[in-house]
Structure 1
Amino acid sequence: MSSNDIIVSLDIGTSKVRAIIGEVTNGSINIIGVGSADSEGIRKGAIVDIDQTVQSIRNAVEHAERMVGIEINDVYVGIQGNHIGLQTNHGVVAVSNEDREIGDDDIDRVLQAAKVVALPPEREIIHLVPKQFLVDGLEGISDPSGMIGVRLEVEATVVTGTKTAIHNLVRCVEKADLKISGVVLMSLASGQMSLTKDEKNMGTVLVDVGAGSCSIAVFEQGNLVATSTLPIGGEYVTSDISYGLRTQTEYAEKIKLKYGCSLIDDAAEDQKFKVMRMGSNVEKEFTQVDLANIIEPRMQEIFHLIRMEVHRLGYSDKVNGYVLTGGSVTMPGTLALAQSELESSVRIAVPDYIGVRDPAYTSGVGMIQYVSKFMRNRPVSSPKKAVARSKAGSTTAPANKSGLFERLKNMFSEFI
């Protein structure tokens, strides 16, 4: 990347769509703009209404543009869901240079060789994540560039997704008049920001508790080894509050954010609030303890299901801790409840950047970090380029309309 680049990440969630603008200056990242909009057209992390999702994306991007004063044309988009699959593959090539020095062309060729894998017709490669390179049989190499050898190999994790999910995601972003610079697996992006090197090596479960779903990613020996998504999240807590207090969902969400507490023992009896009940013009008073009696059982269930899913994936005995992130873990008492239910060490990951110090922004900020480290050869927007395009009046999607999946293949081929 040049010494000063702009990277824009787009996190399309169940409750919010977030556009985050990061400026990379000599390798360091500054978050210079954040835009968010209520998410319409997303249910349990899946797109169910294209037009509503497009409008939500536009709203979030316009919000970010107004904050920074530039036009956003290119974005990196996050993808997640139960359709994501992982499989291991191996690639082998002969070093092409006469002096046997391994160059970027050799690394590109061996990564392409690792992508040759039999896939069902409905699936597409999203990512190729190298676990290690081997030079003439020597293992454990993270970057073989510049080394001398005859035979170059790579062991890699191939991340795949269904064409339908990828197609719908791409369609929404393109209809919002944006160009996709890359599609990033949210679990990898969140892991890049949330986990230390030791946590990835020793075995850690990263859990992103969103509004409509929980994304579970297991890291071991430095690599992502398993991923899963549970269709449960903060929306269910809001729904329980709505039923329990007999109030509208809109008010239930506000009450949860202002007075919510995940542990009954941590709730205050003297913290009181009034609720307008459905079918009545009379407000009724409740305490934070009343609210906690509704929230705690649902949060217990969420963490119980997370633990059962990690057990189903076969990693319950290999995990040394959990790291939580996402907008639904910010309630007081959540950390203590999680430690009790998961029976393991637990911490909450928070981005350490001004303006985004909230677990809800972990995925979006993580995407910017991931792109700057692993996808740095991809073209990104800069303020000058954006202004130039704006003056030219080019605010629509690119004119090149070749086959969608052909373009996706070309885009994914340069991910590493």
Structure 2
Amino acid sequence: MSSNDIIVSLDIGTSKVRAIIGEVTNGAINIIGVGSADSEGIRKGAIVDIDQTVQSIRNAVDHAERMVGIQITDVYMGIQGNHIGLQTNHGVVAVSNEDREIGEEDIERVLQAAKVVALPPEREIIGLVPKQFLVDGLDGISDPRGMIGVRLEVEATVITGAKTAIHNLIRCVEKADLRISGVILMSLASGQMALTKDEKSMGTVLVDIGAGSCTLAIFEQGNLAATSTLPIGGEYVTNDISYGLRTQTEQAEKIKLKYGCAMIDDAADDQRFKVMRMGSNVEKEFSQVDLANIIEPRMQEVFHLALQEVKRLGFGDKVGGYVLTGGAVSMPGVLQLAQLELQSSVRIAVPDYIGVRDPAYTSGVGMIQYVSKYMKSRPAGASKKTSNRKANPSAPSKPGLFERLKNMFSEFI
């Protein structure tokens, strides 16, 4: 196995941390290793305990390493949350070559120019996605390399985030003795995997429902037009089950996964289960219908809030359909309920790779696809495993890390 072709994505979520190892061979991606660990130290997508988060990352990475027998050194880290902001900017440069042929250097300079935006001190740029290039006023160009021209312009979306949230995530990954090859916006990565070219063009909302949050990404004319995160997800359903059946949250989660159904009409009255109630040692019997009566109103609320947020962002009439993904959408009945609530065409996106055919892996697999398409010149993500990773929290971080993150724009071409 050539280590040059290996890409490792790290998806740090509220309920799980997932490390996915992808091998790229002649442009084709194979998922060769998946590591998953329970997420400790994260609430509603935000880090509340660094040490617990570091341990969760280590557990997930160790799990993936054992599966494949290689040592992971570099990872691509996914980021999302309501602190993410998008703004459009314009960059202009003169073509530097004497023969006026546009080269790699000109593209880098014009992208650098597009990153010159006024930002508050608490925010920083995560990445930059070119919408289109213009050569001497001719627009609609996706890749101007090799063209002849005097003036090169770019219209781009600048992705910004809160420094605190970004640096805390980076700190956790570095304390787990991993180097960060790049930071990727999860909505972009999920869109890469979950949406077709036509869906991105006509206006589609990607709804990623995780445990602690629901992230909406609206794609229009082939680009990410808006993103928003609602602090509601699968955990809220679990909490409702815990209150309704008066049982421990841990048991409520197991019941949800085994017997959960999002539509009362689809639930079976003869499917019954027993629950140990809090404050007693007596088990009480419930049916799947009882459970669906708790789950359906909460899932209805999730879709209702998602629809309201799409309208608030100004895309109410422009949306051609919805695509659902994330761990919470694999429950039976979710698709039918979403179609009723959103009053639109809805489908569920699932990665088409062996071992990760679950909506929960969309972001992680999407990141590998995104990297293989837009960031080909990155260092290898893993090496043959010879010894266990040495924990050394005091080791200096790789020089110029933030500089590299700030200069990621050149890889989006």
Q: Aligned pair 1:162/2:159, yes or no?
A: no
Q: Aligned pair 1:227/2:224, yes or no?
A: no
> Which is further off, 2-11 or 223-232?
2-11
Q: Contact between 2:274 and 2:285, CA under 8 Å: does it hold in 1?
A: yes
Q: Aligned pair 1:409/2:411, yes or no?
A: no
Partner of 1:352, secondary structure, is: coil
Structure 1 residue 280, shift from structure 2 partner:
1.1
Residue 83 of structure 2 aligns with which residue?
A: 83
Q: What is the letter of the counterpart of residue 289 of structure 2?
A: V
Structure 1 residue 399, shift from structure 2 partner:
3.5
Matches within 5 A, 1:359-398: 359-384=359-384, 387=386, 396=392
Q: Which runs of 5+ in 2 are unaligned?
A: none
Residue 328 of structure 1 aligns with which residue?
A: 328
Matches within 5 A, 1:296-375: 296-375=296-375
> Which is further off, 147-156 or 395-404?
395-404
Matches within 5 A, 1:122-271: 122-271=122-271
Partner of 1:317, secondary structure, is: coil
Q: Contact between 2:176 and 2:391, CA under 8 Å: does it hold in 1?
A: no
Q: Aligned pair 1:56/2:56, yes or no?
A: yes
Partner of 2:83, secondary structure, is: coil
CA distance in 2, matches of 1:128, 1:380: 23
CA distance in 2, matches of 1:302, 1:33: 32
Normalising by structure 1, what TM-score? 0.95
CA distance in 2, matches of 1:413, 1:129: 9
Partner of 1:335, secondary structure, is: helix
Q: What is the letter of the counterpart of residue 307 of structure 2?
A: R
Q: What is the letter of the counterpart of residue 355 of structure 1?
A: G
Q: Contact between 1:9 and 1:364, CA under 8 Å: does it hold in 2?
A: yes
Structure 1 residue 67, shift from structure 2 partner:
0.1
Residue 112 of structure 1 aligns with which residue?
A: 112
Q: Any idea what the Cα deviations from partners look like across 1:81-131, whole Å, max 9, x if unmatched?
A: 000000000011111111111111111111111001111111100010000
Q: What is the letter of the counterpart of residue 164 of structure 1?
A: T
CA distance in 1, matches of 2:167, 2:409: 14
CA distance in 2, matches of 1:339, 1:183: 34
Structure 1 residue 380, shift from structure 2 partner:
2.3
Structure 1 residue 214, shift from structure 2 partner:
0.3
CA distance in 2, matches of 1:380, 1:403: 18
Q: Contact between 1:5 and 1:382, CA under 8 Å: does it hold in 2?
A: no
Partner of 2:183, secondary structure, is: strand
CA distance in 1, matches of 2:93, 2:405: 25
Q: Contact between 1:15 and 1:211, CA under 8 Å: does it hold in 2?
A: yes
Partner of 1:71, secondary structure, is: strand
CA distance in 2, matches of 1:402, 1:4: 21
CA distance in 2, matches of 1:400, 1:236: 37
Change (3 A) 1:275 1:89: same
Structure 1 residue 381, shift from structure 2 partner:
2.3
CA distance in 2, matches of 1:411, 1:315: 29
Q: What is the letter of the counterpart of residue 233 of structure 1?
A: G
CA distance in 2, matches of 1:88, 1:207: 23
Q: Contact between 2:132 and 2:155, CA under 8 Å: does it hold in 1?
A: yes
Q: How many residues align?
A: 411
CA distance in 1, matches of 2:3, 2:407: 26
CA distance in 2, matches of 1:285, 1:273: 6
CA distance in 1, matches of 2:228, 2:191: 14
Q: Any idea what the Cα deviations from partners look like across 1:1-27, whole Å, max 9, x if unmatched?
A: x99510000000000000000000111
Q: Any idea what the Cα deviations from partners look like across 1:28-49, whole Å, max 9, x if unmatched?
A: 1000000000000110011111
Change (3 A) 1:348 1:319: same
Q: Contact between 2:127 and 2:406, CA under 8 Å: does it hold in 1?
A: no
Change (3 A) 1:250 1:299: same
Q: What is the letter of the counterpart of residue 334 of structure 1?
A: V
Q: Contact between 2:3 and 2:381, CA under 8 Å: does it hold in 1?
A: no
Partner of 1:146, secondary structure, is: coil
Partner of 1:252, secondary structure, is: helix
Structure 1 residue 379, shift from structure 2 partner:
1.4
CA distance in 2, matches of 1:248, 1:383: 42
Structure 1 residue 409, shift from structure 2 partner:
2.6
Structure 1 residue 375, shift from structure 2 partner:
1.1
Residue 71 of structure 2 aligns with which residue?
A: 71
Q: What is the letter of the counterpart of residue 165 of structure 2?
A: A
Q: Contact between 1:78 and 1:185, CA under 8 Å: does it hold in 2?
A: yes
Q: Contact between 1:5 and 1:380, CA under 8 Å: does it hold in 2?
A: yes
Q: Any idea what the Cα deviations from partners look like across 1:343-402, whole Å, max 9, x if unmatched?
A: 100000000000000000000000000011111112122434x65xx59x8775764565
Q: Any idea what the Cα deviations from partners look like across 1:167-208, whole Å, max 9, x if unmatched?
A: 100000000010000000000000000000000000000010
Q: Aligned pair 1:275/2:272, yes or no?
A: no
Change (3 A) 1:180 1:403: closer
Q: What is the letter of the counterpart of residue 265 of structure 1?
A: D
Q: Any idea what the Cα deviations from partners look like across 1:253-280, whole Å, max 9, x if unmatched?
A: 0000000000000000111111111111
Change (3 A) 1:341 1:360: same
CA distance in 1, matches of 2:157, 2:309: 21
Change (3 A) 1:3 1:152: farther
> Which is further off, 203-212 or 93-102?
93-102
Q: Contact between 2:204 and 2:319, CA under 8 Å: does it hold in 1?
A: yes
Q: Contact between 1:3 and 1:24, CA under 8 Å: does it hold in 2?
A: no
Q: Contact between 2:129 and 2:409, CA under 8 Å: does it hold in 1?
A: no
Q: Which runs of 5+ in 1 are unaligned?
A: none
